[in-house]
Homo-oligomer: A and B are copies of this chain.
């Protein structure tokens, strides 16, 4: 039995605009049992406030401070390193980074899931900053996510494109970075081996958690594709969050 639980959001709590069956009750059960809990997400198409608003609208009883997001970790990093970011991020996220000025000139490249903003001109601007020595900071390196039945390109492929173009390696601020998991664990006051991470992304959620010392559980909802579990032999497996909570918490 874990002493604390970390949950991915998209594909675990909801799909598109609907909660997944049994997930609202499963979270309520974790909360009523008093589990220290964090929702850990690389989602960078939505602000934390918007994520909280959507989850509340679906019936989830979550405090805003229980959401630990990659954009939040990114902001913290930029501020503590006094960096001036060029942000290739989604328009929805702009307000959360608007006060971080680029002037006199950007000295860091920040990549989130920028969706249609991933175009040649924006990527080339980032490329030139990288050549000039700016670090490449990524909210995540997820390959894809699922939206309205289709797999959509996430930030990861574009991070890889820029790494290859400029011959650099990105620093990942979100999952699967061990520092990201540790940041959430620090808030909960538990050690890695006491915590269980439940997610639908075999790499960012499950393998990432395992490498950071947590237990990992893969759910077969969201972006899960048959056979994903073969990549993480030591991981727990559950049909969905409801089953994961019933069996492992």
Contact = CB atoms under 8 A, between A and B. Distances in A.
Contacts of A152: 124
A115 B131 CA distance: 19
B157 A161 contact: yes
A191 B184 CA distance: 60
B164 A157 contact: yes
Interface in A159-175: 160-167
Nearest to A118: B120
Given A127-B144, A128-B151, A160-B163, 16 more contacts: A115-B120, A116-B119, A117-B120, A118-B119, A118-B120, A118-B123, A119-B119, A120-B153, A127-B151, A127-B153, A131-B151, A143-B166, A156-B165, A157-B160, A157-B161, A161-B161
Interface in A75-120: 115-120
A158 interface: yes
A143 B164 contact: yes
A148 to B, nearest CB: 13
B121 A116 contact: yes
Most B CB within 10 A of own CB, among A115, A157, A167: A157
Interface in A41-91: none
Interface residues of A, number: 29
Interface in A128-157: 128, 131, 143-144, 150-153, 156-157
A162 B90 CA distance: 20
Nearest to A144: B165
Contacts of A143: 164-167
Nearest to A160: B164
Contacts of A165: 143-144, 153, 156-157
15 contacts: A117-B120, A118-B123, A120-B153, A123-B157, A127-B144, A127-B151, A127-B153, A128-B151, A131-B151, A156-B165, A157-B160, A157-B164, A158-B161, A160-B160, A160-B161
A147 to B, nearest CB: 11
A152 to B, nearest CB: 7
A161 B158 CA distance: 6
Contacts of A144: 127, 165
